[in-house]
Copies of this chain bind each other. A is one copy, B any other.
Amino acid sequence: LKVAVLGVGLIGGSIGLAAREHLEDAEVVGFGRSPERLRDARARGAIDQAAGSVEEALEGAEACFCCAPVGALPGQVRDALAAAGEDCVVTDVGSTKRQLVDAIQDERFVGGHPIAGAETSGVEHARADLFQGAVWYLTPHKRSAGLLYERLYRLVVSLGARPVAIDAGTHDRLLASVSHLPHVLANVLVSQAARTLAGGDQPLPRVGPSFRDATRVAGASSAIWTDIYLANREALAEEIDETVERLREVSEALRGGDLDRVEDWNERAREDRRRLLEADLAGGEVHELRLTVPNRPGIVAQVALALGKADVNIVDMALAPAPDMRSGAMTLWIAGDGQAERARELIRELGFPVA
């Protein structure tokens, strides 16, 4: 099976590594704008051959993965389709789908989006197991050829992922809701706080981890995110409008001093978070453990090590240093009653109070 990969970075490189590891007869041909990075990809075993052009990469290919940034995808997919034979399925890995799928009506094209690796980039972070167990959305359209879709489906399975067919519009709303909107809110929050603080000439009060957590992704790389925001602008704008409506309700309940309504709203959010966390994670209910620890080098290690030795896995973790930077609160999320109980015991044995 000859597989063409256009754009050999984190995702393209990982596709190459996974295909070469899991497919016996795979021959991966890569193409990218930078000859240097292409050489690097070959040196790392992500591709068998570096092509000199899109045409050369597509020659005889049965599948082609377009891995350009979202803004460059329509052009890259068109180039690939122009060079591809009749029996070649062309897909992409962009994080938004409707715009692209609407623009490309070729029967050999099926949109795709593996949910993996958003946090780093570059072929040096590529791994053969990047897609192990990952959802890989596929957005076939009315004209997509059945046999080509099936080939892509099997290919995605052999890369280790779980292909999930989804309508392009639904995909974009889903991603807007759980990824793009949180980024928008982080940006708004950080700019609003900067304005409030500058106006009052006050230092940023250390009020626990909420502000830090909520603004961690603020101002993410414009090179990546401007494209993502714009490519998904309709779904995202709709999500923002819904947020505006929800915020208006909260503001109204607050101004009315309506305790029951505020409490009910908060309880529903509590329940929603619990449901989402549990749906998200195998291994049972997620427990939140809060501990107070000295904030010196080595403490995180001490806690993590004690849990690691006992085979307790930390699902998520947050640190909140106290103002003196000498002590702090650590929050751990552990899945499953048994693991959480074990973690609680181990932390108590270390002498840290745990809630």
User: Taking beta carbons and an 8 Å cutoff, which residues of A are in contact with B?
Assistant: 115-122, 124-125, 127, 129-130, 132-135, 137, 160, 164, 166, 170, 173-175, 177-179, 181-194, 196-197, 200, 202-220, 222, 225-226, 229-230, 233-234, 236-237, 239-244, 246-248, 250-251, 254-255, 257, 259, 262-263, 265-276, 279-280, 282, 290, 292, 295-305, 307-327, 329, 331, 353, 355
Complex Cα spacing A269 to B117, Å? 23
- A239-B192, A246-B192, A297-B308 known; A270 vs B216 contact (CB < 8 Å): no
Could you say which residues of chain B place their CB within 8 Å of the CB of A173?
A: 196, 200
Least CB distance from A109 to B in Å reads 22
- A197-B276, A208-B179 known; A313 vs B290 contact (CB < 8 Å): no
> A216 touching B213 by the CB < 8 A rule?
yes
Could you say which residues of chain B place their CB within 8 Å of the CB of A181?
A: 189, 192
Complex Cα spacing A271 to B314, Å? 32
> B353 touching A120 by the CB < 8 A rule?
yes
Complex Cα spacing A8 to B239, Å? 44
> A225 touching B266 by the CB < 8 A rule?
yes
Least CB distance from A338 to B in Å reads 14
Could you say which residues of chain B place their CB within 8 Å of the CB of A125?
A: 292, 353, 355
> B218 touching A292 by the CB < 8 A rule?
no
Least CB distance from A138 to B in Å reads 13
Least CB distance from A141 to B in Å reads 18
- A174-B205, A297-B307, A308-B300 known; A218 vs B270 contact (CB < 8 Å): yes
Complex Cα spacing A217 to B269, Å? 10
> B317 touching A316 by the CB < 8 A rule?
no
Complex Cα spacing A208 to B116, Å? 8
Set B219, B272, B353: member contacting A190, Cβ < 8 A: B272
- A179-B210, A218-B273, A219-B271 known; A192 vs B225 contact (CB < 8 Å): no
Closest B-chain residue to A352, C-beta based? B125
Could you name 29 residue pairs across A and B whose Cβ atoms are closer than 8 Å?
A: A120-B290, A120-B353, A133-B323, A133-B326, A170-B200, A173-B196, A174-B196, A177-B192, A178-B211, A181-B189, A185-B214, A187-B269, A188-B246, A188-B269, A189-B243, A219-B266, A219-B273, A234-B255, A240-B251, A244-B251, A297-B307, A297-B309, A297-B314, A300-B301, A300-B304, A301-B303, A301-B305, A304-B304, A316-B319
> B226 touching A266 by the CB < 8 A rule?
yes
Could you say which residues of chain B place their CB within 8 Å of the CB of A196?
A: 173-174, 177-178, 239
Complex Cα spacing A148 to B243, Å? 47
Least CB distance from A3 to B in Å reads 22
Set B207, B210, B315, B326: member contacting A132, Cβ < 8 A: B326
Closest B-chain residue to A256, C-beta based? B233
